[in-house]
């Protein structure tokens, strides 16, 4: 029986032993090609906005984003719904706490974190109700003045050809909020399902949960970078939201 894993850095239908196989694939991926743009500017944003070093990596998958935050000096806990992903994370990095979660619940006390980071997670959430539950829980976990940095797909993600993604599927035409989308990771030769959320959708959720938007950043490829960019120099595949729990 198939079960769709949500709130992780990759959304894919996992079936029996296939979950372990795909978790192992993800464990070997790096911040390369189009993925690089999801992380390239994060160190600058962390230095600009975050005060304090206690962090949660929400939807950590196999832990690469958790280890990334640690490399930036953060004391980080990784949380995810996928047991297989977390087992791979722990196998790579046994010293870090990786915790399986359910129903968006973050296993920390109220007002206890300086940063919640979420990369390539929000676009796998299938409903606004579930997105709202995540934002509420992030808000609860953050201290006053704490920062939530969310990297997710831009509205242009399904409209162009990218170095790492193939999005040429019929269901990606004329998208509206909440529509199911299809995308292929060229690097791993894996197809998976996302959901299309607009900037207006996210902005409405920020307002509903009392977050304050500090910055909306659209990373583009640059001349001189080693990647042979496709659409990335003119169109941003991602949007990075920096939002704050008011003081």
* High-pLDDT (> 90) share of the chain, %: 79
Please check the confidence at residue 17 and state whether its pLDDT lies above 80: no
- Report, as an integer, the average pLDDT of 58-74: 95
- Mean pLDDT, rounded, for 16-45: 70
Residue 134 has pLDDT above 70, yes or no: yes
Q: What is the pLDDT of residue 29?
A: 56
Q: What is the mean pLDDT of the chain?
A: 89
Which two structure tokens, joined as six digits, stand for 231?
A: 């659409």
CATH number of this structure's domain 3-155+198-229+236-244: 3.40.50.150
CB-based contact 68:46 (threshold 8 Å): no
Q: Which of 187 and 158 is assigned the larger pLDDT?
A: 158
Cα(35)–Cα(20) distance, integer angstroms: 22
Which residue in 42, 78, 74 sits closest to 58, CA to CA? 78
Domain ranges of the chain: 3-155+198-229+236-244
pLDDT-derived band at 103, boundaries 50, 70, 90: confident
């Amino acid at each position: 029986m198939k079960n769709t894993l949500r709130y992780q850095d990759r959304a894919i239908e996992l079936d029996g032993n296939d979950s372990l196989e795909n978790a192992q694939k993800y464990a070997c991926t790096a911040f390369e090609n189009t993925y690089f743009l999801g992380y390239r500017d994060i160190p600058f944003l962390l230095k600009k906005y975050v005060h304090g070093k206690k962090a949660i990596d929400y939807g950590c998958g196999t832990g690469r984003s958790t280890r990334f935050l640690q490399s930036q000096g953060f004391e980080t806990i990784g949380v995810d719904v996928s047991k297989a992903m977390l087992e791979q994370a722990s196998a790579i990095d046994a010293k870090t706490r990786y915790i399986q979660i359910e129903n968006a619940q973050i296993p920390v006390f109220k007002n206890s974190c300086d940063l919640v980071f979420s990369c390539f997670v929000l676009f796998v959430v299938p409903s606004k109700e579930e997105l709202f539950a995540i934002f509420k829980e992030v808000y609860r976990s953050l201290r006053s003045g704490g920062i939530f940095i969310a990297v997710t797909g831009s509205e242009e993600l399904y409209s162009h050809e990218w170095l790492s993604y193939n999005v040429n599927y019929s269901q990606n035409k004329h998208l509206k909020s909440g529509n199911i989308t299809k995308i292929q990771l060229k690097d791993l030769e894996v197809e998976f399902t996302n959901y299309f959320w607009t900037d207006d959708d996210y902005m409405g959720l920020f307002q509903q949960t009392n977050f304050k938007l500090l910055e909306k950043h659209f990373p583009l490829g640059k001349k001189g970078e080693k990647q042979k960019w496709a659409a990335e120099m003119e169109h941003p595949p991602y949007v990075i939201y920096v939002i704050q729990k008011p003081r």
